[in-house]
């Protein structure tokens, strides 16, 4: 059920939301010598997509599924909680403009990592908090970032850190959902307040 979301967002959020939304891709993203990618799950992928599309240095954000045992799952299958997949976003970014560590800092602020298998009224293992790493460097960075972020929460962080074995892009109607459906109930009641909250907490400009 996509309805209400609560998340502990604190003053000092990264100044990463000032850019215009990026257009995402519905295919597996190619890596180059200049571009890298991060795969993160923090509840509904519509929310996470809307947040990371606004980060300077992010080239594309694709909503999809990862962490399960069913190949090419459908949204309906994932919603049952029986495929093992989480709703995730795969972020293609320019490391010269934004680092993996900076993306993780925003990740902790964009959802509640202390809530097990749920975000607000979205309940199920498909909504779990998770970082999927692609190499040892990302794994170590994720573990350090999680330990650092734990100081900002009164409850233990339950975020899973796991290797990325496969990523399956979600159906086309899930891509750029907030941009295409700004007046949908979930966008008005959940995503828009989340974005406004993050933007209000940005430090003042020069």
What is the set of active-site residues? 44
- What the block records as the tokens of 167 is 């990523």
Angle at 80 between CA 75 and CA 85, to 5 degrees: 65
3-state class (DSSP) for residue 152: helix
Inter-residue contact 41 to 128 (CB < 8 Å) = yes
11 exposure class (CB count in 10 Å sphere: 0-12, 13-18, 19+): exposed
- What the block records as the tokens of 195 is 């974005």
φ and ψ of 201, to 5 deg: -90, 0
- Which residues lie closer than 8 Å to 32 by C-beta, 6 or more apart? none
Inter-residue contact 14 to 105 (CB < 8 Å) = yes
CA dihedral (173, 21, 139, 112) positive or negative:
negative
Q: Which of 85, 87, 30, 29 is nearest to 61 (CA)?
A: 29
């Amino acid at each position: 059920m996509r309805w209400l979301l609560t998340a502990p967002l604190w003053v000092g959020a990264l100044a990463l939301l000032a850019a215009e939304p990026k257009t995402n891709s519905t295919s597996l993203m190619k890596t180059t010598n200049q571009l890298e990618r991060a795969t993160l799950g923090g509840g509904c992928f519509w929310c996470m997509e809307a947040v990371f599309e606004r980060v300077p240095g992010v080239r594309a954000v694709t909503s999809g599924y990862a962490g399960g045992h069913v190949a090419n799952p459908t949204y309906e299958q994932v919603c049952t909680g029986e495929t093992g997949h989480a709703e995730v976003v795969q972020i293609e970014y320019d490391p010269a403009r934004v680092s993996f560590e900076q993306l993780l800092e925003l990740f902790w602020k964009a959802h509640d990592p202390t809530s097990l298998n749920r975000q607000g009224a979205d309940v199920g293992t498909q909504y779990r908090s998770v970082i999927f790493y692609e190499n040892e460097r990302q794994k170590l960075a994720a573990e350090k970032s999680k330990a650092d972020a734990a100081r900002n929460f009164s409850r233990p962080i339950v975020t899973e850190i796991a290797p990325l074995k496969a990523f399956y892009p979600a159906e086309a109607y899930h891509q750029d959902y907030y941009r295409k459906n700004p007046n949908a109930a979930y966008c008005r009641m959940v995503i828009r307040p989340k974005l406004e909250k993050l933007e209000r907490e940005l430090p003042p400009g020069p």
